[in-house]
Amino acid sequence: MKEITPAAMPPCFERWCKRFDDVWTHQAQKREFRNYIGGLLGESERKKLSQMSDNAVGVTYHRLHHFLTEAPWNDQQVNERRLQVMNQCSLASDK
C-alpha cells in the first residue's frame, strides 16, 4: 500500500540531498537518489527495492533498480561526498 509521498519528507531531507546534486548528471538520478534514501529511512522492516517502491507514491521498482544497477554514476564520488557531508555535520555539532 502506497503510504509515503516524496513531497511529505521534511525540508531537512531535501537540503541534505541537495548536497549531492552536482554528483548526478541527470535529473532522474537526483530523483531516484532521493527515492532510494527515503526508502532506506522509511519504516519498512525490510529494505528491499520492491518494498520501498510499494510504500511510496510515485516510486517504481524499475526506476530504483535502474538507478542502482545501470545508471552511469561514480560510487567513489558519491562515497567521497558522503564523507564530506558527514565531516561537515560533525564539525557543526562540535561548535
Residue 1 has pLDDT above 60, yes or no: no
pLDDT tens for each residue of 67-92:
999 999 999 999 999 999 999 887 77
Would you report the helix, strand and coil content of the chain in percent, each value rounded to 5? 70, 0, 30
Q: Output 45 or 19, whichever has higher pLDDT.
A: 19
The pLDDT assigned to 46 comes to: 84
Mean pLDDT for the stretch of residues 49-68: 93
- Residues 82-89: contacts with CB within 8 Å, 24+ apart? 85/16, 85/19, 85/20
Residue 39, judged by CB atoms within 10 A of its CB (0-12, 13-18, 19+), counts as buried
Q: Give the single-character DSSP code of 70.
A: T
Give dist(CA 32, CA 56) in Å, integer.
12
Predicted TM-score (pTM) of the model is: 0.87
